[in-house]
Amino acid sequence: CPSCMRQAAVGFQCPDCVAERPQKVVNSSQLFRGHSEVVVGKVIIAINVAAWVLMTVLSQNPYGAGGPVLEHGALYGPLVASGEWWRLVSGAFLHAGIFHLGMNMLLLWFLSQELEPALGRLRFAVLYVVSLLGGALGVMVLDPLAPTVGASGAVFGLMGALIVLQLRAKQNPWQSGIGGLVALNLVLTFLIPGISIGGHIGGLVAGAAAGALLQPLRW
């Protein structure tokens, strides 16, 4: 009867059913689920960290700013137009500071745990490359004269793909938290100076499009 029901966040629960339900113990391996299946994500993170270390060593700057790696690798429209096409890719593996690197790699790690086991290594790699190039295209269209670095365009693409895949699976991105995460990052993109609007929007759109086309190995 209603008088003996227990109120919960999503309605009411039967006390007998709650008592009979087995308790689930979550350990660290379950908390960081899928980490043993994440290979491509770890390789991408390793490349970003290695690029940061190389940039720091060659620039002789403890903060990693400047130096020949940044000079020859940052995404910059006029130099891409003159034939330095590798900047479309290399810029996404360089970062302007340790905090910039850390935040991008943290998001990349958590998104990799969700996406790589579901898509498989090859499809996840394709998704990352498409998102990266989409972010680079966004920079070239909206702000080609601003030297740009960072993996955030590709990370935005992963978030866009996760939203689309959840919608395809008839899940609610707002309930899972990814919808709010994307909304918050979009607000910060437009409010904080120095953040690449083109890179974030371009990556988000490209990743969402890839998420609509790629078929997961399992849902």
Q: Are 113 and 40 a contacting pair, CB within 8 Å?
A: no
Q: Are 178 and 159 in contact (CB under 8 A)?
A: yes
What is d(CA 174, CA 163) in angstroms, rounded to the nearest whole number?
9
With beta carbons less than 8 A apart as the criterion, state whether 78 and 178 touch.
no
Q: Is 152 a catalytic residue?
A: yes
Distances (CA, A) of 42 to 37, 97, 192: 10, 20, 29
Catalytic option among 90, 112, 131, 152: 152
Query: 95 an active-site residue?
Result: no
Long-range contacts of 129-132 (CB under 8 A, 24+ apart): 130/157, 130/206, 130/207, 130/209, 130/210, 131/155, 131/156, 131/157, 131/158, 131/160, 131/161, 131/203, 131/206, 131/207, 131/210, 132/89, 132/92, 132/157, 132/203
Q: Which of 95, 112, 131, 200 is catalytic?
A: 200
- Report the C-alpha gap between 18 and 122 in whole angstroms: 42
Active site residues per annotation: 152, 200
